[in-house]
A and B are shown apart, each in its own frame.
Chain A
Amino acid sequence: EADIYQTPRYLVIGTGKKITLECSQTMGHDKMYWYQQDPGMELHLIHYSYGVNSTEKGDLSSESTVSRIRTEHFPLTLESARPSHTSQYLCASSEFGQGAGRSGYTFGSGTRLTVV
């Protein structure tokens, strides 16, 4: 079944550690996105990619970095985690198209990151 997977689901890590949040999709979508979701619900775009070797920063400034070496894989890395990075991180993918079934984003289940 086509889907989008995020690992880990939960992560508690100490300040200063390097972490990578994984996101993979099996749908062959060209576009992928990372959102940071605060406790107040709002979704903040931090990175996006329109294809292999394409990455852009989103609206919300973030100290994280991303890479897109393969179509299906879009990992997010924090070189040195801080308590201010504590948040929910959501990955999504989409494919341009107007036909039935080709619409909108598919989201992963998210990674809840806590930096202590």
Chain B
Amino acid sequence: GAVVSQHPSRVICKSGTSVKIECRSLDFQATTMFWYRQFPKKSLMLMATSNEGSKATYEQGVEKDKFLINHASLTLSTLTVTSAHPEDSSFYICSARVPKLAAGFGGYTFGSGTRLTVV
């Protein structure tokens, strides 16, 4: 249970174009989702938190106009990298809070990631 599906797994785009990455919760409702960026051999950096039906909250230093996040339903959050440039090439991972279990805090589940290459 608590599966998050992320697509695409890999994408190559030309510089200046936009790319959309989808993150879907398959068997639960995800009111809160997170988007991370991971550089090679580095840890995960939280980019933003998206809450269903409201604006995303971006971490300091993350350009909200470049990384557009939409969380229009309880099962889908999208990250759009606008006017992508080679420096945006990275591994992007989404995550969702797992609904509270009877005992309390449910934890988090992660998508399989998207490798973005901008050429």
A-B complex is real: no
Give the interface of A toward B (CB within 8 A): none
